[in-house]
């Protein structure tokens, strides 16, 4: 199987992860207007599952290093399979709750609260579980990225993107989503053998772990998304028949969104071998700022914002870039 052989290449893979995780949501914007997220999400999950399988059958089954994906799955202990499945269930619950929170409280509350909390929890949990890298640089960089996310929230609030009120339910959902999002990566990382060049009996390879993780997302989606369609936080209930009324473009955009996100997840897992889970996850969750850049410069979300908003956004970018540099230097 293909593995990463240097820290610099691992950082490059983490940057790709950050770009993917910060960009996949554009596919939802490119779908037809009125195509509800609950319907989009089914195709999104299909995209994640398809790429995880394809990546495992190609890069995960080539070369002389490690174990090919299917033999690896057959020898894995159920405890490790269960750990990767649990990671998928936790991620899916977090992602759906985050979207519901955005619908209730707006991006200015939900996204910085949920993803900012996930960033801090994820770095701390993964570092305690596998302490790799300079702790001072790692947590200093994490703090600056968190500051950048808060500045982004303040800019959204000034621009009026989140409205004048913060529904308590929406804020609670964002907090719960952030806690779950900060925990899922640990369970996937714990299911794998640490040195990807030396397979350990009973443990999963990175490719097998991502595939099992994707299966966890897909299985849990039948529960989580079905409930969300029947009891939506916003809008009328949906039926499965509504999904089949979507156009080819709508469905393709959803699958593409899932593929983009899963490329990021796969690259992050591969990078964790050289960079460590804490650094790999921390860099990937800088996706919040990537998403903000799409909103600022492509979707023009801050057009007509009050004077001084651009200064806040510039300060946000400075904090983010310095924080990113510290996280990289921590390795």
* Structural domain contains residue 150: no
Domain count, the chain: 1
241 is written with which tokens?
């028949």
- The pLDDT score that the predictor gives to residue 164 is 47
- The pLDDT score that the predictor gives to residue 140 is 93
Token pair 């970018």 is at which residue?
A: 317
Q: Rg of the chain's alpha carbons, rounded to an integer?
A: 19
- The pLDDT score that the predictor gives to residue 160 is 62
Token pair 């960009």 is at which residue?
A: 23
Q: Which of 140, 146, 149, 138 minimizes the C-alpha distance to 108? A: 149
* Structural domain contains residue 66: yes
For the stretch 32-74, pLDDT in tens is 778 998 999 999 999 999 999 999 999 999 877 888 999 999 9
Q: Which of 303, 285, 270 minimizes the C-alpha distance to 91? A: 285
* Structural domain contains residue 296: no
Q: Report how far residue 119's alpha carbon sits from residue 138's, in angstroms, rounded to the nearest whole number.
A: 12
CA 213 to chain CA centroid, Å, is 13
- The pLDDT score that the predictor gives to residue 108 is 55
The list of the chain residues with pLDDT below 70 reads: 102-103, 105-112, 160-168, 301-302
* Structural domain contains residue 218: yes
**Cα distances (Å, whole numbers) of residue 63 to 57, 67, 133, 192:** 12, 9, 29, 19
Q: Report how far residue 262's alpha carbon sits from residue 211's, in angstroms, rounded to the nearest whole number.
A: 10
Helix axis angle, 168-190 relative to 277-284, nearest 10°?
140
Range of the domain at 67: 7-134+166-285
* Structural domain contains residue 127: yes
125 is written with which tokens?
């949990």
* Structural domain contains residue 223: yes
Q: Is 204 helix (H, G, I), strand (E, B) or coil?
A: strand
* Structural domain contains residue 317: no
């Amino acid at each position: 199987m293909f593995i990463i052989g240097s820290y610099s290449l691992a950082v490059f893979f983490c940057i790709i992860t950050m770009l993917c995780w910060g960009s996949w949501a554009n596919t939802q914007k490119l779908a037809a207007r009125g195509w509800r997220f609950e319907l989009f999400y089914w195709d999104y999950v299909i995209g994640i599952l398809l790429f995880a399988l394809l990546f495992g059958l190609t890069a995960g089954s080539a070369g002389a290093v490690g174990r090919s994906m299917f033999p690896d799955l057959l020898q894995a202990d159920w405890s490790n399979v269960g750990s990767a499945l649990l990671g998928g269930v936790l991620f899916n619950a977090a992602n759906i709750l985050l979207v519901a929170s955005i619908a209730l409280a707006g991006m200015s509350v939900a996204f910085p609260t949920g993803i900012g909390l996930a960033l801090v929890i994820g770095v701390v949990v993964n570092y305690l579980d596998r302490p790799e890298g300079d702790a001072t640089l790692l947590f200093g960089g994490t703090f600056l990225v968190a500051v950048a996310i808060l500045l982004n929230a303040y800019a959204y609030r000034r621009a009026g993107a989140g409205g004048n009120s913060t529904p308590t339910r929406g804020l609670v959902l964002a907090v719960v989503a952030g806690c779950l999002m900060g925990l899922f990566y640990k369970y996937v990382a714990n299911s794998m053998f640490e040195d990807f060049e030396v397979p350990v009996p009973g443990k999963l390879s990175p490719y097998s772990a991502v595939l099992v993780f994707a299966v966890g997302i897909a299985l849990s989606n039948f529960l989580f998304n079905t409930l969300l369609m029947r009891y939506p936080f916003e809008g009328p209930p949906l039926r499965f028949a509504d999904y089949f009324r979507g156009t080819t473009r709508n469905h393709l955009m959803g699958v593409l969104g899932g593929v983009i996100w899963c490329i990021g997840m796969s690259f992050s897992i591969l990078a964790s071998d050289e960079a460590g889970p804490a650094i790999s996850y921390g860099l990937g969750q800088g996706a919040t700022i990537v998403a903000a850049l799409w909103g600022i410069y492509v979707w023009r979300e801050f057009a007509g914002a009050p004077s001084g908003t651009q200064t806040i956004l510039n300060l946000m970018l400075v904090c983010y870039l310095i924080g990113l540099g510290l996280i990289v230097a921590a390795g």
